[in-house]
Amino acid sequence: MPIIKAALLGLGTVGAGVYEVIRNQQEQLKELVGAEVQVVAVLIQDTDKEREVEKDVLVTNNIQEILAIPDLDVIFESIVGAEPTNRYLDEAIEYGCHIITANKEMFAKHGEALLEKALENDVQIGFEATVAAGVPVIRTIQQQLQLNKIGRVQALLNGTSNFILTEMRKKQLPFAKVLKTAQSLGFAEADPTNDVEGIDAFYKIMILSQLIYGEQPEWNTVELKGIASVSEDKIYHSDGRYKHIAELEKVGDRIQATVRPIIVDEQHPLYSVEGVDNAVVLETSLAGAIMIQGPGAGSKPTASAMLEDFIHIFQDSKAAVLS
C-alpha cells in the first residue's frame, strides 16, 4: 500500500490531537485516501522535553531536517505566531508539500501569498482549522455556496470569550474567577489576552473576509473591543445576553468589520449559542440565512478539521491519479 509521509510542526494541544487521531484512525484513513499515513517527523521548541511519539519519528527543532526528508507529502502546522511559521511553510511549498494549518494569525497575515505560491507549485493548503475549529465554515463557503453571494457574516469565533460570558451571566460570577475556571479546563491560555480582547476573533474574521470578498479591510479601521470592556453588572442584569460577535459586511466597495461585545435578544440567531461553542451566520443571496454551529475549542475539534482537510486533499490527489 502507498505511504503518505506527514510531518507535524508543533506538538502542543492541537498537534498532539492530530498525532493521536492519525494513530487511532489509521484503518479508516487507509480506506478514505488509499494509503497508509505515517507521521515521520515533529518540529518542537524544547528538545529536552519528553514527547509521546513513536521511536522512529524524528523529533527536532530544526525545520531543515524535516524538509530534507525524502518524499515528504504533507505538513500539519499548529505553531503559535506568524513568524517563523510563514517562512517554514513558504519553504515547504517550494519542496512540494501540501500544507494544513490551524494558525489564524499567520494565515490572516500571509494566507493570500501562501495560496498563490501553492497554486504555482501544484500543492494545496487546508485552512479550515484557522477559523472555527470543528465548525466547517470554510468548506461550506468554498463548496456549498459557490452560486450564492454572501452579504453579511455574524459570528462567535472564540470559545473562550463565549464560555466566560455564559458562565458570568448564568452563575453571577466575576470575570477573574470564571477566567481561572476556563484556564483550569483548558479553554483559555495562561495569557488569555488574544481571546478576551478579541484579537483571536479579529484574525479569524479577516480570514473570512479574504475568502468571501477576496480582500480584507484596512486593519486599523476595524472596531475591536474585548469582553473586559463590559461591566460585570451589565452582564449580570442585562435584559438580553452579551455575545462577543465578529461582524463582516461589504457596503458598496467598502468592507466593514467589527469585533465587539453586544447585547442580543431571543430573536437573534446567536442568542442560544452558549459555552465554548462557535457559530457562524451567513446571510446569502439565494439560500437565505445559514447558521453553522459546533465546538470552537479543544484538541479534538481542531484536529478533526485538520484531518478533514487532509482527506479532502488526498482524495483529490487519488482521483487525479486514477483518472
52-77 pLDDT, tens digit per residue, is 888 999 999 999 999 999 999 999 99
Q: What pLDDT does 209 receive? A: 98
Whether pLDDT at 168 is above 50: yes
Q: What pLDDT does 320 receive? A: 44
Sign of CA dihedral 192, 160, 224, 233: negative
What angle separates helix 104-120 from helix 199-213, to the nearest 10 degrees?
A: 30
Output the average pLDDT for the chain: 93
Binding-site entries? 10-15, 104, 189
Q: Please report which residue ranges of the chain form alpha helices under DSSP H.
A: 13-24, 26-33, 63-67, 85-94, 104-120, 129-132, 137-139, 159-171, 175-184, 193-196, 199-213, 232-237, 299-322
Count CB atoms within 10 A of the CB of residue 131: 29
Q: What is the grid cell recorded at 21?
A: 487521531
Residues 142 and 214 sit within 8 Å (Cβ to Cβ)? no
Dihedral angle of Cα 192, 194, 197, 203, to the nearest 10 degrees: -160
For the stretch 51-57, contacts whose Cβ atoms lie closer than 8 Å and that sit 24 or more positions apart, written own/partner, are 51/11, 52/16, 53/11, 53/19
Q: What is the grid cell recorded at 51?
A: 514527547
Please write the tens of the pLDDT for every residue from 76-111. Answer: 999 999 999 999 999 999 999 999 999 999 999 999
Catalytic residue positions, numbered: 204
Whether pLDDT at 24 is above 60: yes
Q: What pLDDT does 318 receive? A: 55
Please write the tens of the pLDDT for every residue from 264-306. Answer: 999 999 999 999 999 999 999 999 999 999 988 778 889 999 9
DSSP letter, residue 190: S
Classified as helix, coil or strand, 39 is strand
Stretch 240-259: mean pLDDT: 96
* CA gap 319, 284 in Å, rounded: 31
Classified as helix, coil or strand, 34 is coil
Whether pLDDT at 183 is above 70: yes
Please write the tens of the pLDDT for every residue from 7-18. Answer: 999 998 899 999
Whether pLDDT at 317 is above 70: no
Please write the tens of the pLDDT for every residue from 122-166. Answer: 999 999 999 998 899 999 999 999 999 999 999 999 999 999 999
Q: What pLDDT does 134 receive? A: 85
Q: What pLDDT does 161 receive? A: 96
* CA gap 72, 5 in Å, rounded: 5
pLDDT band per the 50, 70, 90 thresholds, residue 50: confident
Domains of the chain, first to last: 3-133+300-322 (3.40.50.720), 138-295 (3.30.360.10)
For cell 507521521, the residue is 39
Residues 206 and 131 sit within 8 Å (Cβ to Cβ)? no
Q: Specify the DSSP element, H or E, that contains 5.
A: strand 3-9
Whether pLDDT at 323 is above 60: no
- Least confident interval from 214-223, 293-302, 304-313: 293-302
Query: How many angstroms from the chain centroid is the CA of residue 304?
Result: 11
Stretch 201-207: mean pLDDT: 98
Residue 58 sits at φ, ψ, to 5 deg, of: -70, 120
* CA gap 22, 126 in Å, rounded: 16
* DSSP assignment of 257-313: EEEEEEEE-TTSTTTT--TTEEEEEEEESSS-EEEEEEE-SSHHHHHHHHHHHHHHH
97-101, 185-189, 251-255: which is most confident = 97-101
Binding-site entries for NADP(+)? 10-15
Per-residue CA distances from 182 to 203, 236, 261, 267 (Å): 21, 18, 18, 28
Percent of the chain with pLDDT over 90: 85
Residues 314 and 35 sit within 8 Å (Cβ to Cβ)? yes
pLDDT band per the 50, 70, 90 thresholds, residue 48: confident
DSSP letter, residue 71: T
* CA gap 50, 27 in Å, rounded: 28
Stretch 17-41: mean pLDDT: 95
Residues 121 and 158 sit within 8 Å (Cβ to Cβ)? no
